[in-house]
């Protein structure tokens, strides 16, 4: 069978000529790890260089900006921080007044006489301890705090995977992360007391793992009008670090290497009140106060003036006012630039704004009334058992108009008379049964506001409480359900 020649056949002898011709060698020259050059016969044909922004997404942007821009940025953010603090002054004052009602400090009273009763009614502290003790058992059971739910059709493969996930997370939270439970218990105490508590979840390079640390509500400041922490335009975390901690972060390039000067302390009214009630002072606190501001910003030198604000994290030294770090706060692969959230906000009972209501707000007034009643009852019993009065001496009373203390007899001048005519005990009454009954009612109200474990685990009892068919327990039970929902919702993909 004949085979036709191709219409576009190559000329005869072309292949042999190509083999005889010398093929130039490809030359590759690596000047440094940042660039590669390709060439033939000594002539460069391609140069590949590492881009300026490649693999530098998480760099400290403060290193690239002039000091004038950093100074202006720090001034603006510190001014915003001061306004945010001023907007919650009333909330802070309520918190400060409520801390005293816990009765952690023994009060020696000199009014209306030396040694008068100075006890506090245990309504607030007892309710708070019950809430903390019962809620930790519900949110941190013996099998571990993490449970898994299969979404969609259940298969044996999904069930096995769910068990592995639950076992791994419970191992991390109960064994590997030893600080998790103590931090969670501290969070529950602050949650019940103030109605607000925060946790900060982040990767700690010193531990080589994620950590979840409790942050007191006084150290997290948001603008007035924010509805929740996820959508707040600015969240400021007041941090306190030692000189050695800052030096370590500067040595690895996390913070700028700038002069720190002497530490300038930052103590809120709440922290000072806690120290006073706890019996310790804050004068020996030599830590530096840092403002870590999570905000949407347009930063000169990085963004254009026409750009929309982007999420950044800016760290400022309170003492010097210098910016230590600026970092992008979104994922490099996220085209929408969604803010990465490091804070978890727990609320006891939702209030009128961002901050929730705690036991200070709910039973604080009753705790104050109970304190007044118990002091009156104890003082009345003291006066009744150790009465004081007058003794005559020409009917002229020596001394001033200060109240007569128990067991005290004052001189009174009289002209004559028998002994019984010259002594008069003041008509002190026995402790009032009416006041005692009123104090019992106040105590019963506090018992109704405490956490009830049965309401938490039994959906039928929960429904009865919410519909008003049962007495007591509804306030704290609702808060524990909300706390449980927060834990379940925030354990998706990360640790709370």
What integer pLDDT is reported at residue 89 of this predicted model? 86
CA 217 to chain centroid, in Å, comes to: 5
User: What pairing do the DSSP bridges indicate for beta strands 234-241 and 220-221?
Assistant: antiparallel
* Confidence grade of residue 139 (pLDDT, cut at 50, 70, 90): confident
Q: What is the mean pLDDT of residues 428-456?
A: 63
Cβ atoms of residues 264 and 290 within 8 Å:
no
Distance CA 33, CA 47 (A): 13
Cβ atoms of residues 394 and 415 within 8 Å:
yes
The residue assigned the tokens 């100074």 is 71
Q: What are phi and psi of 86, to 5 degrees?
A: -65, -30
Query: Which of 299, 331, 332, 326 is CA-nearest to residue 314?
Result: 326
What integer pLDDT is reported at residue 39 of this predicted model? 64
The residue assigned the tokens 């006041």 is 435
Read off the pLDDT of residues 68-108 as tens digits, 9 standing for 90 and up. 999 999 999 999 999 998 888 888 888 888 888 888 777 77
Three-class SS of residue 372?
helix
* Confidence grade of residue 45 (pLDDT, cut at 50, 70, 90): low
The residue assigned the tokens 């009765």 is 103
Q: What are phi and psi of 314, to 5 degrees?
A: -115, 125
User: What pairing do the DSSP bridges indicate for beta strands 35-40 and 26-32?
Assistant: antiparallel
Cβ atoms of residues 199 and 145 within 8 Å:
no
Three-class SS of residue 490?
helix
What integer pLDDT is reported at residue 477 of this predicted model? 47
Cβ atoms of residues 446 and 127 within 8 Å:
yes
**For residue 62, what is the DSSP state?**
G
Distance CA 92, CA 204 (A): 31
Query: Which of 400, 493, 479, 484 is CA-nearest to residue 127?
Result: 479
What integer pLDDT is reported at residue 345 of this predicted model? 93
Q: What is the mean pLDDT of residues 431-456?
A: 62
The residue assigned the tokens 């946790």 is 199
* Confidence grade of residue 268 (pLDDT, cut at 50, 70, 90): confident
Segment among 52-56, 160-164, 329-333 with least mean pLDDT? 52-56
* Confidence grade of residue 454 (pLDDT, cut at 50, 70, 90): very low
Read off the pLDDT of residues 421-430 as tens digits, 9 standing for 90 and up. 666 777 777 7
pLDDT of 467 over the 50 cut: no
What integer pLDDT is reported at residue 76 of this predicted model? 93
Segment among 270-274, 381-385, 411-415 with least mean pLDDT? 411-415
Q: Which residues of 450-480 are buried (b: 16+ CB within 10 A; e: fewer)?
A: bbbbebbeeeebbeebeeeeeebbbbbbbbb
Read off the pLDDT of residues 237-265 as tens digits, 9 standing for 90 and up. 999 888 888 888 888 888 998 888 787 77
Helices and strands (H and E) in the chain: how many: 14, 14
Distance CA 157, CA 257 (A): 52
What integer pLDDT is reported at residue 310 of this predicted model? 92
What does the DSSP assignment read for 436-489?
Answer: HHHHHHHHHHHHHTS--HHHHH-HHHHHHHHHT-S-S-HHHHHHHHHHHHHHHH
What integer pLDDT is reported at residue 474 of this predicted model? 40
Read off the pLDDT of residues 306-361 as tens digits, 9 standing for 90 and up. 888 999 999 999 988 999 999 999 998 999 999 999 999 999 988 888 888 899 88
What integer pLDDT is reported at residue 488 of this predicted model? 45
What integer pLDDT is reported at residue 480 of this predicted model? 46
**Could you give the maximum distance between any two Cα atoms of the chain, in Å?**
163
Segment among 160-164, 216-220, 489-493 with least mean pLDDT? 489-493
Cβ atoms of residues 194 and 54 within 8 Å:
no
What integer pLDDT is reported at residue 69 of this predicted model? 92
């Amino acid at each position: 069978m004949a085979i036709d020649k191709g219409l576009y056949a190559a000329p005869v002898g072309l292949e042999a000529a190509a083999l005889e011709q010398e093929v130039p060698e490809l030359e590759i020259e690596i000047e440094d790890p940042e660039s590669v050059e390709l060439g033939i016969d000594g002539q460069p044909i391609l140069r590949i260089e590492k881009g300026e922004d490649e693999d530098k997404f998480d760099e400290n942007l403060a290193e690239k900006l002039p000091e004038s821009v950093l100074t202006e940025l720090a001034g603006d953010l510190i001014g915003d921080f001061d306004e945010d603090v001023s907007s919650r002054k009333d909330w802070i004052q309520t918190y400060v007044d409520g801390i005293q009602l816990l009765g952690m400090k023994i009060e020696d009273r000199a009014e209306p006489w030396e040694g008068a009763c100075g006890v506090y009614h245990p309504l607030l502290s007892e309710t708070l301890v019950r809430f903390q003790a019962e809620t930790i058992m519900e949110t941190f059971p013996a099998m571990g705090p993490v449970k898994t739910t299969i979404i969609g059709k259940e298969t044996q493969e999904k069930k096995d995977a769910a068990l592995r996930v639950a076992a791994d997370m419970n191992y991390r939270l109960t064994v590997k992360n030893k600080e998790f439970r103590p931090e969670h218990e501290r969070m529950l105490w602050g949650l019940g007391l103030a109605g607000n508590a925060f946790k900060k979840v982040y990767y700690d390079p010193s531990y080589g793992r994620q950590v979840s640390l409790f942050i007191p509500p006084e150290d997290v400041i948001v603008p007035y009008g924010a509805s929740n922490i996820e959508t707040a335009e600015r969240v400021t975390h007041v941090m306190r670090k030692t000189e050695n901690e800052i030096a370590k972060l500067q040595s690895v390039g996390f913070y700028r290497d700038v002069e720190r000067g002497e530490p300038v302390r930052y103590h809120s009214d709440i922290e000072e009140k806690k120290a006073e009630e706890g019996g310790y002072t804050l004068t020996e606190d030599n830590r530096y106060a840092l403002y870590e501001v999570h905000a949407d910003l347009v930063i000169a030198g990085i963004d254009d003036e026409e750009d929309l604000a982007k999420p950044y994290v800016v760290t400022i030294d309170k003492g010097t006012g210098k910016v230590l770090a600026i970092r992008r706060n979104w994922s490099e692969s996220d085209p929408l630039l969604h803010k990465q959230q490091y804070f978890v906000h727990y609320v006891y009972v939702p209030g009128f704004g961002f901050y929730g209501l705690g036991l200070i707000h709910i039973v604080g007034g009753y705790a104050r009334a109970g304190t007044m009643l118990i002091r009156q009852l104890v003082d009345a019993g003291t006066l009744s058992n150790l009465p004081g009065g007058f003794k005559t001496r020409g009917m002229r009373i020596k001394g001033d108009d200060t109240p007569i203390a128990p067991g005290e007899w004052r001189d009174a001048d009289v002209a004559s008379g028998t002994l019984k005519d010259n002594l008069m005990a003041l008509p002190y009454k026995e402790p009032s049964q009416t006041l005692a009954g009123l104090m019992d009612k106040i105590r019963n109200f506090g018992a109704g506001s405490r956490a009830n474990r049965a309401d938490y685990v039994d959906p039928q009892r929960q429904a009865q409480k919410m519909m008003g068919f049962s007495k007591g327990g509804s306030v704290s039970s609702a808060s524990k359900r909300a706390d449980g929902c927060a834990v379940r919702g925030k354990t998706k993909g990360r640790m709370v």
